[in-house]
Amino acid sequence: MGEKYHTLEERMKILADGTKYDSCNSTTTCHTFTPDGRCIQLYKTLMTNSCSGECLYCPNRCGREATRASLSPDEIVKITWDFYRRNAIEGLFLSSGVIGDPELTTERQLDVLRTLRGSGFNGYVHVRLMPGVPRDMIREVSLLANKFGVNAETTCQSRYDEICPNFDYRNDILRRMEWTYGAVRQRRSEVRYGEGIIGANDTQFVVGATGEPDSEIIDTIGRFMDSYGLRRPFFMSFDPVPDTPLSGNKASPLWREARLYQTSYLLKDYGLKPRDLETVLDDRGFLPDDDPKLVLARLNRDAFPVDVNLSTYSELIRVPGIGPRTANRIVRCRPVLSYVQLASMGVVMKRARPFIKLGNSRQTDLEAFV
């Protein structure tokens, strides 16, 4: 389907609209918030929303009746600079529909990155790579971008085949994830911290498009963390798009995305393994709509209460209401003499009370709480 004439602002709107479901925040400044409460940190855009792919859930799939538009690399650079100078963004998130083949698309993405960096742009750049992107291009992207990765979308070959018929999970996704991790490691060995861009790899899952249970997603994240050094997975709740083969499916509840994020933090920051979380899941392998850390603590009653002055860091962080930061504070500044001191050190007493004790004193009975 050809593109009609649209002004720059109209094209910008169409293409930014196409990325609004993508999660891609850096860990720094939130410049503003949209009325749905999500923060805006980056200028998120597609290069084009024309695509030769036919992914079943995607508004940009080829053949779908939609207004098609594209932005040239120079236009993207200009808009990014303008927003960046105005301090409205921290950088750019660049994705695209597949223009012809993955190589051509990535070449266009690289044009944007080269021009941006060549003009002295120091901001954050996050690039969504195309499935099947060539290895040498991944290497070049790793020299210019702060984060890059191919979307895994789902958990295994068969589910992927169901929703993305044009690409191969093993070759176009998993192998590319291996290469992106290789590029990141190479970069880490070449550049010292603070002396150049050392990017990280990432991936995104569409939650609920193929009926996959959370247990599969959690296992996959654990596997990706071990095999591909994945630091942070992103999740996008499936929302049926009209005029696509999945338009009749039910949207995935938003809380599921939030619980998966919480679970991924347990894997990343708390050092838990997927098997530690098995008890939290229901019979069908889904997470309940409750804080997974709290559920885990309730299910492991024998491990509590922990003595704040005697337990190790890893025991402390398992207590609901005590995060890694507060656990550090406690370990460094023992002895803690009272619950008032604990509260003032940042422990959320309402949640932590039943799970901790100070010497022989316990404030609330765990049995009563559970």
Inter-residue contact 331 to 324 (CB < 8 Å):
no
Nearer to other proteins, 215 or 311 (CB): 311
Question: Shortest Cβ distance from residue 97 to ligand SF4 (Å)?
Answer: 4
99 makes contact with ligand SF4 (CB under 6 A)? no
Nearer to other proteins, 25 or 155 (CB): 25
Question: Shortest Cβ distance from residue 41 to other proteins (Å)?
Answer: 9
* 230 interface partner picked from ligand SF4, other proteins, none, CB below 5 to 8 A per type: none
Distances, alpha carbon 244 to alpha carbons 22, 114, 151, in Å: 18, 35, 20
Stretch that binds ligand SF4, among 54-62, 207-215, 273-281, 305-313 (CB under 6 A): 54-62
55 makes contact with ligand SF4 (CB under 6 A)? yes
Query: For residue 100, what is the enclosing H or E element?
Result: none
Nearer to ligand SF4, 58 or 267 (CB): 58
Site string for ligand SF4, 154-173 (x = CB under 6 A): ----------x---------
Half-sphere exposure of 299 (CA within 13 A, CB side): 14
* Pairwise CA distance, residues 233 & 258, whole Å: 12
Using alpha carbons only, how large is the chain's radius of gyration in Å? 23
37 makes contact with other proteins (CB under 8 A)? yes
Distances, alpha carbon 360 to alpha carbons 114, 278, 333, 363, in Å: 63, 32, 19, 10
Q: What is the dihedral of CA 23, 29, 33, 37, to 10 degrees?
A: 60
Question: Shortest Cβ distance from residue 96 to ligand SF4 (Å)?
Answer: 7
Neighbours of 167 (CB within 10 A): 20
* 98 interface partner picked from other proteins, ligand SF4, none, CB below 5 to 8 A per type: ligand SF4
333 makes contact with other proteins (CB under 8 A)? yes
* Pairwise CA distance, residues 273 & 266, whole Å: 8
Binding ligand SF4 by CB under 6 A: which of 91, 97, 323, 354? 97
Question: Shortest Cβ distance from residue 111 to other proteins (Å)?
Answer: 21
Inter-residue contact 94 to 114 (CB < 8 Å):
no
Query: How many residues of this chain interact with ligand SF4, rule: CB under 6 A?
Result: 9
DSSP 364: S
Residue 258 exposed, middle or buried by CB count within 10 Å (0-12, 13-18, 19+):
middle
Kindly list the residues in this chain that would bind other proteins in the complex (CB under 8 A).
Answer: 9, 12-13, 16-17, 20-21, 27, 29-40, 43-44, 79, 82-83, 85-88, 120, 122, 239, 251, 254, 265, 268-269, 323-325, 328-330, 332-333, 336, 341, 344-346
Kindly list the residues in this chain that would bind ligand SF4 in the complex (CB under 6 A).
Answer: 51, 53, 55, 58, 60-61, 97-98, 164
